Amino acid sequence: MLQEAAVNCSEGLQALRIARDRVDLNPSRFEDVARQLGQIHDLARKHRVRMDELEAITNKLSTRIDNASNTELRRDKLLSELKNSLDNYRRAAENLHQKRKLHASEVSVRVIELMNDLGMEGGTFEIAVSLKPQATPTQLGDDQVQINISANPGLPPGPLSKIASGGELSRISLAIKVATAGNDESVTQIFDEVDAGIGGDTANAVGRLMKRLSEKRLSGHGQALCVTHLAQVAVCATHQLQVRKAPGKESVAVDTSLLTTSDRIDEIARMLSGTISKKSRAHAVELLSSAGAT
């Protein structure tokens, strides 16, 4: 065993001598290797990676250089794609414009009919849809929409915001909501004092229109809710709720109750005259009866 170990040591010693003879102890070569290792270390620190990850960084930078050399080709390709997309958008916007014009015309006719019912006979209503071909593309298309009205016959239509009074705005708002209610009877529509600024027979017309709208909703699964201070409108409701506010120490308490037939007569009487009397209750019964609520 010792002889075998001696032979192995002799062979190992010989191998080490051969390896030693192959080693280049050139000082300049050592300096080159040391300098390269220093550069690699600096690059790794610059890119904040380990030294063995520099190869991936090199490949990434090479790809960026190749892309930069093909900038003109890529730019031309992107411009071509942009032009195709813009052409498709303009065609879609034109198609949407034609559909909007048709729908706007139909809605305008329905609103004018409702305006006649709301005491605005002879008035005109127009939804003007104009196309702006060079407009900046948006998800809503290239249309500019403006509502023009004329509340009195013989007067040219003008912008809604500049012509309509408060009462007219309320009635036109109601007409637009009714005209654009659509066929979805599951929708709940809420009218918050849409009868502001009106009275007399016009208030009766608003009440009848609200009743017509609510009957359409009841045939489906939706409903129409209206906040009102006018008795003429309230009597047209299928159900009437009274909302009361009571001031507290730190806040205001709000109470809502569904009125019975008797309570409803009292509430309508109070809305008519501010007090409940035999005459006001008789008037309330007459209004409820004429509206088909009693």
- Residue at a domain's end among 176, 191, 219: 176
Please indicate, yes or no, if residue 26 is contained in any of the structural domains: no
* Runs of H (alpha helix) within the chain: 2-22, 27-47, 54-69, 71-117, 160-163, 166-179, 200-218, 231-234, 261-273, 278-290
* 172 and 186 both lie in a single domain: no
pLDDT beyond 80 at 126: yes
Over residues 149-181, the pLDDT tens digits come to 887 777 788 888 787 777 677 778 888 877 876
| pLDDT in the model for residue 265 | 92
Please indicate, yes or no, if residue 10 is contained in any of the structural domains: no
What is the distance between the terminal CA atoms of the chain, rounded to a whole angstrom?
124
* 3-class SS letters over 119-150: CCCCCEEEEEEEECCCCCCCCCCCEEEEEEEE
Q: Which of 46-55, 85-94, 130-139, 168-177 is predicted with the least confidence, judged by mean pLDDT?
A: 168-177
| pLDDT in the model for residue 216 | 63
* 292 and 187 both lie in a single domain: yes
| pLDDT in the model for residue 79 | 92
Please indicate, yes or no, if residue 14 is contained in any of the structural domains: no
pLDDT beyond 80 at 294: no
Task: Band the pLDDT of 282: cuts 50, 70, 90.
Answer: very high
* 261 and 163 both lie in a single domain: no
For residue 137, the enclosing domain spans: 78-176
Give the count of domains, the chain. 2
| pLDDT in the model for residue 259 | 92
Q: Among residues of the chain, what percentage have pLDDT more than 90?
A: 25
Over residues 175-219, the pLDDT tens digits come to 887 787 665 556 777 887 777 767 777 788 888 888 877 776 555
In 3D space, the residue among 105, 107, 125, 106 whose CA is nearest the CA of residue 115 turns out to be 125
18 is written with which tokens? 């051969």
Q: How, if at all, do strands 188-192 and 223-227 pair? A: parallel
* 187 and 156 both lie in a single domain: no
* 112 and 195 both lie in a single domain: no
227 is written with which tokens? 């906040």
Q: What is the mean pLDDT of residues 16-33?
A: 82
| pLDDT in the model for residue 219 | 53
Beta bridge partners of 150: 124
Please indicate, yes or no, if residue 23 is contained in any of the structural domains: no
- Residue at a domain's end among 130, 150, 176: 176
CATH code, domain with 265:
3.40.50.300
* 106 and 139 both lie in a single domain: yes
Task: Band the pLDDT of 267: cuts 50, 70, 90.
Answer: very high
Please indicate, yes or no, if residue 289 is contained in any of the structural domains: yes
Over residues 48-63, the pLDDT tens digits come to 888 888 889 888 888 8
Please indicate, yes or no, if residue 134 is contained in any of the structural domains: yes
* 186 and 166 both lie in a single domain: no
* 163 and 95 both lie in a single domain: yes
Contact partners, residue 111, CB within 8 Å, separation at least 6: 125, 172, 175, 176, 179
Q: Which residues of 114-124 are buried (b: 16+ CB within 10 A; e: fewer)?
A: bbebbbbeebb
Please indicate, yes or no, if residue 48 is contained in any of the structural domains: no
| pLDDT in the model for residue 91 | 93
* 166 and 220 both lie in a single domain: no
Task: Band the pLDDT of 97: cuts 50, 70, 90.
Answer: very high
* 134 and 204 both lie in a single domain: no
Q: Which of 78-92, 103-117, 207-221, 272-286 has the highest mean pLDDT?
A: 78-92
* 192 and 290 both lie in a single domain: yes
- Residue at a domain's end among 176, 200, 226: 176
Please indicate, yes or no, if residue 118 is contained in any of the structural domains: yes
* 186 and 157 both lie in a single domain: no
